[in-house]
Amino acid sequence: MDIEVKRMSPTAIEMLDQLGAVCKRFGVDYYAASQNQRDLLDSIALHEYQLKKAHEQGLKRSEVPPFLGLKRSDRSNDMPA
């Protein structure tokens, strides 16, 4: 059996770093967490990653999908990401 190892993309590395930061902030061991907890952590990390990228590009929050579909206020939408 041949094993092929590929490098992670820079985007995947940044996303994994964001996930690690979220786990550390909430004091959760990702691999010991339940599937529901992992799903929530993944969602939080993805949302924060999207906000970070939007901020780097100078976009407003309205350009990023709201967290878990929650409605954002107009005031929040007009703020920088």
Fill in the amino acid letter for 43. Answer: S
Q: Which residues contact 29 (CB under 8 A, 6 or more apart)?
A: 23
CA 77/CA 59 separation, integer angstroms: 10
Q: Is residue 20 part of a domain?
A: yes
Report yes or no on 1 lying in a domain: no
Q: Give domain status of residue 2, yes or no.
A: no
Token duo for residue 65: 């999908």
Residue 38: Cβ within 10 Å count:
16
Would 73 be classed as within a structural domain? Answer: yes
Question: How many structural domains does the chain have?
Answer: 1
46: containing domain: 13-78
Judged on CB neighbours under 10 Å (0-12, 13-18, 19+), 31 is exposed
- Per-residue confidence of the chain (81 residues) as pLDDT tens digits? 788 888 999 999 999 999 999 999 999 999 999 999 999 999 999 989 988 988 888 888 777 777 766 666 666 666 665
**pLDDT of res. 37:** 95
Alpha helices in the chain (DSSP H): 10-26, 35-56, 74-78
69 closest CA partner among 43, 49, 30:
43
